[in-house]
Each structure stands twice: as C-alpha cells, then as structure tokens.
Amino acid sequence: MTIPMNPWIFFPLVAGGSLLLTGVLRRYAASSNLFDVPNSRSSHTIPTPRAGGLAIVFTFLPGLFCLWLTGFLPTHALVALAGAGGLVAGVGFLDDRRHIAARWRLSAHFLGAAWGLFWLGTLPPLPVFGHLVYLGWVGYLLAALYLVWLLNLYNFMDGIDGIAGIEAITVCLGGGVASVLSSPDGQNWLAPVLLLSAVAGFLYWNFPKAKIFMGDAGSGFLGLILGLLSIQAGQSEPELFWCWLILLGVFIVDATTTLVRRAIRREPVYEAHRSHAYQYAARRFSAHRHVSIAVGLINLLWLLPLALLVAKGALPGLAGLLIAYAPLLWCAFMFKAGAKEQQEV
C-alpha cells in the first residue's frame, strides 16, 4: 500500500533535519570528548568534534523509507541502500569512537557491498563504444571491489573542510540531472536529490572553517551509497553508469593516483598521510575553502557537461570518461598526488 504524496516535500524536510541534527551531534561529540585531534598528518590545527556525518545517515535513511512508502522507491532499492549504508555507517561510528582493526573494517565493507549488490539484483551491461558488454559473475566481483574502493577513497578524500560535502552535492546534482535527461519519466533522480539534501544540511556546519567533521561514519556511508546509486542508475539506462563515474572523477583520480604511487614505493596503504593532491593544494594556497570550492567548480563546469553529453547519447561513455579524466590526472601530478611529503616545495 502506497501513500500518495508529492516527493518534493521530503527534500527541505531532510535538509532541515540534517541541519538541526548536525548541531545536536556537535554538542554530543563535545560532551563525549569525541574530537579529531590534530597531528603531523592532519590538515587542521585545532581539535574539532567529529561523527557529524551521522546526521546525513539519520536523515537520508528515513527519507528513503518515505520515498518507498509513497511508491517512489522500489523495495529492493530501499533494502539495498539502507542495509548496506547502515552497516558501514555503524562500523564507521565505532571506529570514530575507538579504533577498529583494518581487517575487520574491510570485512564489514565487503559485507556491505555484497548486501547492496545482492538486493539491487542483476548488474547492468557496460556500454563500450556502441556494444553492451555483459560481465556475468566477474561483474559482481568487480562491482564489489568498485564499491569498497569508492567507500575507502571517500574516507581518504575527506581531509579538508567542506570537500566531501561539496563533492557529494555536486555529484548527486549531476546524477539527478543526467537521469532526468536520459529517462524523463523515470524516478532515479529522487534518491540522489534526497542525499544531496541530507548533505546540504551537514555542509552548513562543515564548510570552512568546519565546526564539526564528518567522521568515518559519514564518509564511508557516502562513498558506498554513491557507488550503489551509480549502479542503480545503470540498471535503468546503462550509459548512466559512465555518467556517475565521470562525475566522481576528482575523487577517483586523486585517490587512485595517490594509492598507486604509494604502493609502488611499498608504503603502507592504510597509513595516514597528507600526500593527496587536494592536501598539497590546500597547503600551497593556505586555505581549505579555495580547494573545496575548486572541486565543486570542476564538477559543475567540466565533469557535468561531459556527463550530460553521455546521458543524451552524444558522446560514448568510455570516450567521455577518458576525456574527463585526462586533465584531472594532469592536475593530480601537478599537485604531487602520492609524492613523498618531503618533496613538497
């Protein structure tokens, strides 16, 4: 049984709820001594409350339930997003409070990815220059690795004020617009816009200078949910998966380039560091605000137009991805992504 209701009413309610709840969580974190204390690997200088990303979780998930209750979200999508996201957020919050060994975190991440993929069902084919490539069981393995990597890279990239929130908002906006252009009568734009609303309320508190940090609970949740939304979009229109990969380009290129260069030097992958391109850029310009806003502008002015061309069928998805990532890769090397920190000038 569904309840008829205009879905637009949910967006301001979720944004307002996230705004208020983040303020409550800030007071809770301060009273519980839940602070992110600066160290030699940090990009901030004063102790700051964390775990504010729970506001995104606690407003987005009820919003999903409302979309399901009103008939705008299928049951399998609700169970996939809520189950996987809730698990990862819970483990992230425990890690925010007391350190959890990497092997247990990673196990939970793969479990969340597997849950999401199981409930989403059949993976979409991958369009490659006019041909649909069906990956079969290999596709599920690759999809699980994709989700876990996106989850972790979002954690890695949440290192300066506002950057993770701005990334999520602009990616969700682009994903929603691409869905509307590709399938005007579809409803795949609703969940991304709902997530955008939840993140917008949090970003008020996290925009430079941040009054509270997202924490692992929020960053891991966002990375996984964005990945699942990209796969769900591809199920309706296969080209949309390429659109989401294009929109996520800044985070994917920076984090992947950094990881590969560190791995080549045999440095511990999970060890905290400040060698991402965005971290070097923040130190070079002595401001978080400029870098975070630049990421948003790149997403809106460079990646979004390319994603929309792919959504409209004017550009093959893989070609659009290569065009989108080429200057991002150049920027990553220009800002020394993955370089040893003592090489910084």
Distances (CA, A) of 5 to 67, 72, 187, 240: 9, 10, 14, 27
Q: What is the pLDDT of residues 129-155, one digit of tens each?
A: 888 899 899 999 999 999 999 999 999
pLDDT score for 186? 83
Read off the tokens for 334.
């220009």
pLDDT score for 6? 85
- Answer whether residue 280 shows pLDDT above 50: yes
Query: Strand, coil or helix: what is 48?
Result: strand
Q: What is the pLDDT of residues 251-265, one digit of tens each?
A: 999 999 999 999 999
Amino acid at position 88, single letter? V
**Orientation of helix 239-247 relative to helix 249-264, angle to 10°:** 70
Tokens 């870098």 locate to 291
CA 8 to chain centre: 23
| Mean pLDDT of all residues in 306-324 | 97
Q: What is the pLDDT of residues 15-34, one digit of tens each?
A: 999 999 999 999 999 999 89
- Answer whether residue 105 shows pLDDT above 60: yes
- Say if pTM beats, i.e. exceeds, 0.75: yes
Report how far residue 255's alpha carbon sits from residue 279's, in angstroms, rounded to the nearest whole number: 11
pLDDT score for 41? 63
pLDDT score for 42? 66
Q: Which of 40-54, 155-169, 291-305 has the lowest mean pLDDT?
A: 40-54
Report how far residue 331's alpha carbon sits from residue 199's, in angstroms, rounded to the nearest whole number: 26
Above pLDDT 90, what percent of the chain?
81
pLDDT score for 253? 98
Instruction: Band the pLDDT of 193: cuts 50, 70, 90.
Output: very high
- Answer whether residue 78 shows pLDDT above 90: yes
Average pLDDT, the chain: 93
- Answer whether residue 1 shows pLDDT above 60: no
| Helix (H) or strand (E) segment spanning residue 127 | strand 126-128
pLDDT score for 345? 42
Of 178, 163, 193, 202, nearest to 293 by C-alpha is 163
- Answer whether residue 40 shows pLDDT above 70: no
Read off the tokens for 301.
């002015």
More confident residue, 268 or 140: 140
Query: Strand, coil or helix: what is 340?
Result: coil
| Mean pLDDT of all residues in 256-278 | 89
| Mean pLDDT of all residues in 104-110 | 96
pLDDT score for 344? 46
